[in-house]
Amino acid sequence: MKKKQIIIALFLIVLVLLYVVVMRSSGKEEVSGKTSVGPSEEAVLPQENVPVRKLEPDNPQDYGMIVFAPQDKPDNQVEWDKVIKETIGKIKSGTPNASWQAAQETIKEDPAKTKDKVKDLDKRIEEYETALRKNSDNAFLRKRIERLKILRSLAEELAPAAVSR
Amino acid sequence: MNKKAAVLAITCIMAVFLTVLGAAFIARSVQEKNLAVMFSDSAESFWIAEAGLARGYNELSNYLYCADALNNWSDLEENFAEGSYRVTLSLCDQGIRMQSEGSSRSGVKAVAAEFSCIPFPFENTLSAGGDISLSGLLARVEVYGKTRISGSYSGSRWASGWFEDKVEGVDPSQTTLEIPDYDDDGTTDEFDDFVVFGRETTSSYPEEERVYIQTDGDVLIYPDSSYVGKKVVFVEGSSPGAGNVFIVFDSTWQEDEDLTVISTGDVSYLEPLQFQEDARLSVISWGDYSEASIFRSEHESVIYSHHDANFVDILDWGSTTGNIIANNNISLLEVLTYEKYYYSERALNGDLPAGFDRLAGGNGILSNHLINWQEANAVQPVDRMQSDSVQPAGRQVAGRR
């Protein structure tokens, strides 16, 4: 009889323990549900979601760029002509014929007009180079001459018929 | 007697087994119910956050300028449906960030939207922090839209300038752009700020959309097919004026191309010619910007020079559409023909070329175009009271308005 009571008592204790365990675990889920809805909650204001990507310098040649070190920079018309000829050649070969023709059509003009403009460029270059010899520190003038030389080379490549040396 | 005891023991074991099984089922049911409630609350809180964002957007539309919005904004905390939302405003790199947190019973969700601040000079066709001068022989320059000059305008006797709307002596905040304090040393508008600005702008684009060159030499760029899809080219020199760029003949540009060339030196744009629809090539230079052409030139660009913008030696008629901003002077020097400048609303409408969205900081015209939307991290309900003292994320800039 005593054994029977012990077994029933043990059985009841196990039942009570199971009840407690089940209730506690479901209670925990309810509490945790209040503070962890979704994976991203944190107790801070968010930083901007701008992706941070590693920045490695690219190789200029991969993009057809020409980089001139200060000592290697073209400093006369012949050298600029060579660089621009190469450049325009690359542009032309990498461009569909129709697009290239459209570009040519857009800038097309009377060859005599181009000739006059090239003469004007030559005159300006000469004039500014004379001025630069008098004031060699004038960086604005030096850059201007450089731009004019590039323009002259461009004229020679884009309207070769009109430009004669 | 032993038999009875054995039956009792077996009965108890069976009862325990069945109880464990039942308890597991109950636990599983409770868990599933909780998950369902959590999911439902989460979804509800998300849509409440969305409602908050819509309410915030409506409130934000009352402000014309970013600085006004930031200074006068008071957080919106309102009940909505079965929960509530809280809408806050803060400064971010590209303008203003609005965050809305929705909560519904156990759910908390947050969504954030960003609006760009369009720098004031984007209202103008030409903006000069210094003077504008025009010289040339029988030349004519026409500027449509607004011309705003902090200094004064001067023209030579042989050249005529026509301006649709020109105002001299305006506040520099309307004509110039200041580089925000990107290196966080407390001072804005330094060369180091410009370098960090260039790096951050470039690194914000994926590899296939950017080119990053480090050199102290001069770089000749001819935009061809290898630039299709590129958004930014950054040529970084080690000191101010190093890393000059020549952009040569972009007539083979393609439709919808939109590239910004950033340089720590000078940028010269030679023989520009874009006739493709919606193509745009823009420039941000620490040094001078110069443009020259021998043939007809036509292009759409947003030009920003931290120093001067020179339109020099333009030997044929041309037109520029967009916005030209020089912190110092704009020179239209020895123009031989007929040059026209047209205003483009693209930038003002929020369609800013790469990099320009990072130059406004918290100053500028508030764009109503959404530039970013994302689900954000929410502040836990228990921490909400503390969050009032948290400073908004983002770079601080010197107030200029």
ipTM: 0.73
Residue B127: CB partners within 8 Å, gap ≥ 6?
A: B121, B147, B148, B149, B174, B175, B176, B323, B324, B325, B326
What confidence tens digit (pLDDT) does each residue in A49-93 have?
Answer: 555 668 899 999 998 899 999 888 898 999 999 999 998 888 888
Q: A39 versus B302: which is more confidently predicted?
A: B302
A66 touches chain B (CB under 8 A): yes
Question: Which pLDDT band holds residue B384 (cuts at 50, 70, 90)?
Answer: very low
pLDDT of residue B336: 67
What confidence tens digit (pLDDT) does each residue in B197-226 have?
Answer: 999 999 999 999 999 999 999 999 988 777
pLDDT of residue A8: 77
A73 touches chain B (CB under 8 A): yes
The percent of residues in chain A predicted with pLDDT above 70, rounded, is 76
Does A29 have pLDDT greater than 60? no
| Closest in B19, B387, B392 to A18, CB measured | B19
What confidence tens digit (pLDDT) does each residue in B114-138 have?
Answer: 988 888 999 999 999 999 999 877 7
3-class secondary structure, A88: helix
pLDDT of residue A68: 94
The percent of residues in chain B predicted with pLDDT above 70, rounded, is 92
Q: Measured between alpha carbons, how far is B285 from B248 in angstroms, rounded to an integer?
A: 16
pLDDT of residue B5: 77
The whole-number average pLDDT for the span B132-157 is 91
Sign of the dihedral defined by the CA atoms of residues B176, B182, B187, B189, in that order: negative
What confidence tens digit (pLDDT) does each residue in A10-27 have?
Answer: 777 877 777 777 666 655
Does B301 have pLDDT greater than 70? yes
pLDDT of residue B269: 94
Mutate which: B18, B224, B275, vs A, most A CBs within 10 A: B224
User: HEC profile for chain B?
Assistant: CHHHHHHHHHHHHHHHHHHHHHHHHHHHHHHHHHHHHHHHHHHHHHHHHHHHHHHHHHHHCCCCEHHHHHHHCCCEEEEECCEEEEEEEEEECCEEEEEEEEEECCEEEEEEEEEEEECHHHHCCEEECCCEEEEECCEEEEEEEEEEECCCEEECCCEEEEEEEEEECCCHHHCCCCCCCCCCCCCCCCHHHHHHHHHHHHHCCCHHHEEEEECCCEEEECCCHHHCCCCEEEEECCCCCCCCEEEECCCCCCCCCEEEEEECCCEEEECCECCCCCCEEEEEECCCEEEEECCCEEEEEEEEECCCEEEEEECCCEEEEEEEEECCCEEEEEECCEEEEEECCCCCCCCCCCCHHHCCCCCCEEEEEEEEEEEECCCCHHHHHHHCCCCCCCCCCCCCC
What confidence tens digit (pLDDT) does each residue in A95-150 have?
Answer: 888 888 888 888 888 889 899 989 989 999 999 999 999 998 898 899 999 999 99
Query: A-B interface: how many C-beta pairs under 8 angstroms?
Result: 243
Asked if B34 and A99 come within 8 Å (Cβ–Cβ), the reply is: no
Contact B166, B143 (CB under 8 A): yes
Does B28 have pLDDT greater than 70? yes
pLDDT of residue B397: 38
- Which pair of structure tokens corresponds to residue B255? 């439709």
pLDDT of residue B363: 77
Asked if B31 and A64 come within 8 Å (Cβ–Cβ), the reply is: no
Please give the distance of CA B289 from its chain centroid, rounded to a whole number.
22
Q: How far is B165 from chain A (nearest CA, A)?
A: 30
A29 touches chain B (CB under 8 A): yes
Contact B159, B140 (CB under 8 A): yes
Among B49-53, B150-154, B383-387, the range scoring the smallest mean pLDDT is B383-387
The whole-number average pLDDT for the span B150-175 is 93
pLDDT of residue B138: 74
3-class secondary structure, A68: strand
What's the mean per-residue pLDDT of chain B? 87
Contacts of A56 in chain B (CB under 8 A): 212
Q: Single out the residue of B333, B260, B258, B233 nearest to residue B290, CA to CA.
A: B333
Q: Single out the residue of B96, B263, B90, B215 nearest to residue A66, CA to CA.
A: B215
| Closest in B42, B292, B380 to A147, CB measured | B292
Q: Which residues of B199-218 are buried (b: 16+ CB within 10 A; e: fewer)?
A: bbbbbbbeeeebbbbbbbbb
Amino acid identity of residue A42, one-letter, is E
Q: A113 versus B165: which is more confidently predicted?
A: B165
| Closest in B4, B108, B271 to A154, CB measured | B271
- Which pair of structure tokens corresponds to residue B159? 């050249």
Contacts of B31 in chain A (CB under 8 A): 26, 29
Contacts of B273 in chain A (CB under 8 A): 103, 106-107
Contacts of B295 in chain A (CB under 8 A): 107, 109, 114, 155, 158-159
| Closest in A44, A52, A60 to B213, CB measured | A60
A162 touches chain B (CB under 8 A): no
Surface-to-core class of residue B168, CB atoms within 10 Å of its CB (0-12 exposed, 13-18 middle, 19+ buried): middle
Does B290 have pLDDT greater than 90? yes
Contacts of B205 in chain A (CB under 8 A): 53
Asked if B252 and A95 come within 8 Å (Cβ–Cβ), the reply is: yes
Beta bridge partners of B310: B290, B331
Q: What is the CA radius of gyration of chain B?
A: 30
Among A40-44, B60-64, B170-174, the range scoring the smallest mean pLDDT is A40-44
pLDDT of residue A31: 47
The whole-number average pLDDT for the span B24-53 is 92
pLDDT of residue B1: 59
Contacts of B207 in chain A (CB under 8 A): 53
- Which pair of structure tokens corresponds to residue B294? 């021998």
Q: Measured between alpha carbons, how far is B10 from A156 in angstroms, rounded to an integer?
A: 107
What confidence tens digit (pLDDT) does each residue in B318-375 have?
Answer: 899 999 999 999 998 876 678 899 999 998 888 889 999 888 777 788 887 788 888 8
What confidence tens digit (pLDDT) does each residue in B225-279 have?
Answer: 778 889 999 999 999 999 999 998 776 667 778 999 999 999 999 988 877 778 8
Please give the distance of CA B140 from its chain centroid, rounded to a whole number.
36
Q: A13 versus B145: which is more confidently predicted?
A: B145
Q: Which residues of A133-164 are buried (b: 16+ CB within 10 A; e: fewer)?
A: eeeeeeeebebbbbbbbbbbbbbbbbbeebbe
Q: B295 versus A159: which is more confidently predicted?
A: B295
Asked if A64 and B222 come within 8 Å (Cβ–Cβ), the reply is: yes
pTM over 0.90: no
Contact B296, B273 (CB under 8 A): yes
The percent of residues in chain B predicted with pLDDT above 90, rounded, is 58
Q: B393 versus B251: which is more confidently predicted?
A: B251
The whole-number average pLDDT for the span B69-98 is 92
Q: How far is A76 from chain B (nearest CA, A)?
A: 16
Q: Single out the residue of B23, B89, B28 nearest to residue B56, CA to CA.
A: B89
